[in-house]
Chain A
Amino acid sequence: GDSVTQMEGPVTLSEEAFLTINCTYTATGYPSLFWYVQYPGEGLQLLLKATKADDKGSNKGFEATYRKETTSFHLEKGSVQVSDSAVYFCALSERGATNKLIFGTGTLLAVQP
């Protein structure tokens, strides 16, 4: 079945450092791809999305590009802040009747001042 693999954490960075969190997927069709963020003690919030190959999703300085040739959707940010500390989940949504959302295991990001 469809699956998502993302890099294990924790990822520890200093403030203003460059962030990359790797995400690859396996899917039989052409899924939509998402990054969700979970701040401590909270639920999940949609961070960004891309619905077709070469689309770039962006929000709050974060970016990710849908790469069909490498089946990847890596999350990047040029300069992280302490407030970006959270767990980041890569996910795919199956096209078609089920619309199931399938998650990776999550990556904890800790940004130090």
Chain B
Amino acid sequence: NAGVTQTPKFQVLKTGQSMTLQCAQDMNHEYMSWYRQDPGMGLRLIHYSVGAGITDQGEVPNGYNVSRSTTEDFPLRLLSAAPSQTSVYFCASSTGGHYGYTFGSGTRLTVV
């Protein structure tokens, strides 16, 4: 099994550009989440989904959109990139309950 796959691994954007970070899992997990990791701030939840067609905002949703049309995919869209969105982004999935989440390897995004 591939687990959680994130693409791309690295990306440089100019301020105002848009892009989509891809996330796919092959474990048939219902729960999926996006986090951003910044120095000294741990991982902060951006958006999450409890199943196909259902998404909700996390702690830091502004500037990001998500959709969940299938169980496998959970893309994160940056509508108009800003330097404050420079970060490492992690996607994660879970079967729920006490099983914990499986994480992807991350996307390092720089906005100049």
Partners in one complex: yes
A99 at the B interface (CB under 8 A): yes
B94 at the A interface (CB under 8 A): yes
A101 and B101 contacting across the interface, CB-CB below 8 Å: yes
CB-CB contacts of B24-36 with A at 8 A, as 1s and 0s? Answer: 0000000101010
B103 and A105 contacting across the interface, CB-CB below 8 Å: no
**Which residue of chain B is the closest to A105 with respect to CB atoms?**
B42
Interface residues in A31-63 by Cβ distance below 8 A to B read 32, 34, 36, 42-46, 49, 51
B66 at the A interface (CB under 8 A): no
Interface residues in A87-106 by Cβ distance below 8 A to B read 89, 93, 95, 97-106
A89 and B97 contacting across the interface, CB-CB below 8 Å: no
A101 and B42 contacting across the interface, CB-CB below 8 Å: no
B100 and A93 contacting across the interface, CB-CB below 8 Å: yes
B52 at the A interface (CB under 8 A): no
CB-CB contacts of B82-97 with A at 8 A, as 1s and 0s? Answer: 0000000010101011
A43 and B90 contacting across the interface, CB-CB below 8 Å: yes
Which residues of chain B have a CB within 8 Å of any CB of chain A? Answer: 31, 33, 35, 40-45, 48, 50, 56, 58, 90, 92, 94, 96-98, 100-106
